[in-house]
């Protein structure tokens, strides 16, 4: 695909086919993701990969239960929104995806978050180019950063999970979405 087509046609995918994603495909997407720029070319990223719908469903259920508990008595407007979103019993936080990639920084070093975000975006664009759908699951980030979750997944405590990305072959591609016009201030 042309770059512009990839940019226009990438959409967050929330319904996946059961077809597994092969490890070599995930590796190829990661190999492209690391072409992203990073501060001082420090490349402070790692990729933790979980394959298999059932395993991911199990993580999803536990992350959701943890989040429901976390926002239950939180008085902020953001928590109220999350409560509403999570209230749907059939909602799967990780959308029954067959693959999960956690883009992570090996330490909480300054600027590593930005670098990991760029790698995550490059991963998502590269996936779209390969006909694979992705969705960034920011809601699950705090759960993946729990010590107990990291211990279970053999992720070192010092690692900062930045971008949980689910991926798989879409049941259908969402339509291209219009964006609000950019607010541009030309400084004369
Ligand atoms: C940092 C970040 C966090 C996000 N977290 C979630 C999430 O937890 N759950 C979800 O369904 N979508 C999540 N998304 C996807 C956004 O909702 C989506 O990108 C936005 O609605 C625009 O739609 P599009 O990606 O299809 O263009 C997240 C996206 C970003 C960039």
CATH number reported for the structural domain that contains residue 75 in this entry = 3.40.109.10
Domain membership of residue 72 (yes or no) is: yes
Q: Which of 102, 138, 177 to mutate to test the pocket of ligand 1 (most atoms within 8 A of CB)?
A: 138
Q: Residue of the nearest CA to atom 31 in ligand 1?
A: 136
Span 14-58, pLDDT tens digits? 999 999 999 999 999 999 999 999 999 999 999 999 999 999 999
Supply the range of the domain harboring residue 152: 22-168
Distance 134 CA to ligand 1 centre (A): 10
Ligand 1 atom having least distance to the Cα of 140:
8
Ligand 1 atom having least distance to the Cα of 117:
1
Torsion angle (degrees, nearest 10) of CA 83, 85, 178, 132 = 130
Ligand 1 atom having least distance to the Cα of 93:
9
pLDDT at position 43 is 97
Q: Is 18 helix (H, G, I), strand (E, B) or coil?
A: coil
pTM exceeding the 0.85 threshold for the entire prediction: yes
pLDDT at position 188 is 95
Total tally of structural domains belonging to the chain: 1
pLDDT at position 27 is 98
DSSP-derived secondary structure letter, 40: G
Domain membership of residue 2 (yes or no) is: no
Domain membership of residue 41 (yes or no) is: yes
Residue 90 exposure: Cα atoms within 13 Å on the Cβ side: 2
């Amino acid at each position: 695909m042309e770059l512009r087509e990839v940019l226009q046609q990438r959409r967050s995918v929330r319904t996946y086919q059961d077809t597994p994603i092969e490890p070599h495909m995930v590796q190829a997407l990661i190999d492209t993701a690391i072409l992203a720029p990073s501060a001082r070319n420090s490349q402070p990223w790692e990729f933790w990969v979980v394959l298999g719908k059932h395993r991911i469903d199990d993580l999803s259920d536990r992350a959701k239960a943890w989040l429901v508990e976390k926002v239950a008595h939180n008085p902020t407007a953001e928590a109220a929104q999350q409560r509403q979103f999570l209230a749907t019993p059939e909602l799967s936080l990780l959308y029954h995806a067959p693959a999960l990639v956690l883009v992570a920084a090996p330490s909480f070093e300054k600027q590593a978050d930005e670098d990991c975000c760029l790698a995550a975006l490059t991963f998502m664009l590269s996936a779209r180019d390969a006909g694979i759908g992705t969705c960034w699951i920011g809601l699950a980030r705090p759960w993946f950063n729990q010590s107990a979750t990291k211990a279970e997944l053999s992720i070192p405590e010092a690692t900062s999970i930045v971008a949980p990305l689910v991926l798989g072959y879409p049941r259908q591609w969402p339509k291209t979405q219009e964006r609000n016009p950019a607010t541009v201030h030309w400084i004369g």
